[in-house]
Structure 1
Amino acid sequence: MENKILIIDDDTDLCYLLKNYLMLENYNVTICNDGASGIKEGISNTYQLIILDIMLPIMNGFEVLTTIRKTSSVPILMLTAKDSEVDKVSGLRLGADDYLTKPFLQNEFIARVQSLIRRYTIFNAKHEESETLSFKGLAINRQLRIVNVNGDTIKLTAKEFDLLLFLASNKGQVFTKEQIYNHVWKEEYSYDDSNIMSFISKLRRKIKNTELELDYIQTIHGVGYRFNLGV
C-alpha cells in the first residue's frame, strides 16, 4: 500500500525540506500552507500520517487538530518551534500522537514518521480484520457494509445486507421466520412469511457462489433458515 503523508505548515522552505526527506523514503507527500486548506485536504482524502505545525496563521495547529479529530483517527505528528511543555501536553490531550520541537535531526524525524505509520498500519489491519466476516469465497465488512463474492462486490439493499449479516454472524444456528423478522426488521412479527421468503430468495440469488457451487443460506424444512455451517 502506498503511504501518503500530508504536511500542514506555512514555512515553505521547511515543507520543501521535509518533502525531500520523505520522498527519499518513498512516501507520497502533499503540502498545505494554511489550516483551512489542510483540514479540507485531510478530511477529503486518505492519509497514513499528517505532519502539523502549531504556529499557523489565522487558524493555529491546535484548532486544525481538533477539527480533524472529529472525523479521523489518522496519526498526527505535531511540529513547533517552542520547547514548551504546555504546548506538548495540549497537543497530546487534543489527540496528537507525537511531538517534535524544531530544529530536529533528519534521522529522528524519519524515525518518528516510520514508527507512527507502522503502528497505524498494524492497528488498521487488525481493525479491518475484526470488522470482516470471512467464509469460503464470501467476505462481509460490517463497518463499510460491503459484500464480496470471489472478489466481486455484490450490490445489496440495506435490508438484504442486514439479513445476511444477522445469519452470517450466527453461523450454523437455525432461526425461524419470526426470529429473523424480529431481529432484522425489529418489528413485531406480522406472520407475513412471503415477505421474508422473498427477501431470502433474492439474497440467495445475489450471493450464490456458482464458482464454488455454494449456497450460503440453507433452508431447514419445517423450521426456518441458517447460514451454511460448512463454509
Structure 2
Amino acid sequence: PPARVLVVDDDPTVSEVVSGYLDRAGFAVDRAADGPGALERATAVRPDLVVLDLMLPGMDGLEVCRRLRAAGPVPVIMLTARGDEDDRVLGLEVGADDYVTKPFSPRELVLRVASVLRRVRARPAVPAAAPPLRAAGITLDPAARRATKDGTELALTVREFDLLMFLLRNPGRACGREELMREVWGWEFGDLSTVTVHVRRLRSKVEDDPGQPRLIQTVWGVGYRFEAPADERPPADGGGRA
C-alpha cells in the first residue's frame, strides 16, 4: 500500500499545495490544521511520516512532535518559517528527521519525504551479536542502541546515535559532510548545515570541553574526524551505513 503522510499546517494554501504534490507522487495523504487535530488524526490512522509546521496555533510543532514520538516511532519532517539555526536545533532536538525552510519547493519536499521513508525502511537490523564499540571512555552498543561516557548513559537522539556510531567505526579518518549526510542520513542531497548542527549537539554530550573538542575534530574544508588514543580505537570497518 502507498505510504501514508500526515500534513500539518495551519496555512490552507501550503497544506493544499503540499498535499497535492504528495498525492500525485503516489502517497496517501491526511491533513490537519492544528496540533490537536494532528494528534487526533495520527491516533485514528497511524501515518508513515508527518510533515509538520513548526508554528501552529495553540500547540506548536515541537510539542506535537514530542507527543507523536511518545506514542511510537514515526519520521517527522519539520517546516520552519525562518532559516534561524535555533529553529533547526529545536526541531532536531525533539527528534525531527529533517527540516525544510519556508518558502520551499514542493518538489523538493516530496523528494525529502521519499528519502526519509527509504532511509527508515532500508535501515538494516543490527545483529544481536554486534560487539560494542569503545573509545575514549565511550561505549556504544549497536544492538541495544545505548551509549555511555565514563559509565554515564548519554541521552542521544536517533541521528546523534547513528552519527556517533559511524564516527566510532571510522576512527582517524576524515569524513566529509556529504559522506556523513549520505551514510548517516541516507540523503543524496540536502542542507549540509544539518550535519554541522548535529555534530555540535553531539560534541556537547561527549566532549569534556565542547568549545575545544578533543574527540570530534573539524577537518577544515572537508568535515570531521574522530580522534582517540591509538590503543583505544575500535577496529575500522571501512565505512558503511551506520
User: Displacement, 1:53?
Assistant: 0.2
Which residue of structure 2 lines up, in the alignment, with residue 166 of structure 1? none
User: Displacement, 1:46?
Assistant: 2.1
Identity within the alignment, %? 36
Which residue of structure 2 lines up, in the alignment, with residue 80 of structure 1? 80
- Report how many aligned residue pairs link the two structures: 128
Instruction: State how far apart, in whole Å, the 1-side matches of 2:46 and 2:35 are.
Output: 17
- Checking the alignment, whether the CA contact within 8 Å between 1:43 and 1:72 is kept in structure 2 is no
- Asked whether 1:108 is paired with 2:108, we answer yes
- The structure whose Rg is larger is 1
User: Displacement, 1:122?
Assistant: 2.1
Which residue of structure 1 lines up, in the alignment, with residue 17 of structure 2? 17
- TM-score under structure 2 normalisation? 0.50
Which residue of structure 2 lines up, in the alignment, with residue 120 of structure 1? 120
Counterpart amino acid of residue 16 in structure 1: E
Structure-to-structure mapping, 1:205-216, within 5 angstroms: none
- Checking the alignment, whether the CA contact within 8 Å between 1:50 and 1:76 is kept in structure 2 is yes
Counterpart amino acid of residue 117 in structure 2: I
Which residue of structure 2 lines up, in the alignment, with residue 97 of structure 1? 97
- 1:161-216 deviation line (CA, Å, top 9, x unaligned): xxxxxxxxxxxxxxxxxxxxxxxxxxxxxxxxxxxxxxxxxxxxxxxxxxxxxxxx
Query: What SS class does the counterpart of residue 13 from structure 1 fall into?
Result: helix
Which residue of structure 1 lines up, in the alignment, with residue 207 of structure 2? none
Structure-to-structure mapping, 1:195-210, within 5 angstroms: none
Query: What SS class does the counterpart of residue 29 from structure 1 fall into?
Result: strand
Which residue of structure 2 lines up, in the alignment, with residue 6 of structure 1? 6
Query: What SS class does the counterpart of residue 46 from structure 1 fall into?
Result: coil
User: Structure 1: any 5+ residue segments left out of the alignment?
Assistant: 131-231
Instruction: State how far apart, in whole Å, the 1-side matches of 2:91 and 2:74 are.
Output: 15
Query: What SS class does the counterpart of residue 5 from structure 1 fall into?
Result: strand
Counterpart amino acid of residue 104 in structure 2: F
Decide which structure has greater helix share: 1
- Checking the alignment, whether the CA contact within 8 Å between 2:53 and 2:79 is kept in structure 1 is yes
Instruction: State how far apart, in whole Å, the 2-side matches of 1:43 and 1:91 are.
Output: 22
- Checking the alignment, whether the CA contact within 8 Å between 2:21 and 2:107 is kept in structure 1 is no
Query: RMSD across aligned C-alpha pairs, in angstroms?
Result: 1.9
- Checking the alignment, whether the CA contact within 8 Å between 1:9 and 1:52 is kept in structure 2 is yes
Instruction: State how far apart, in whole Å, the 2-side matches of 1:7 and 1:117 are.
Output: 15
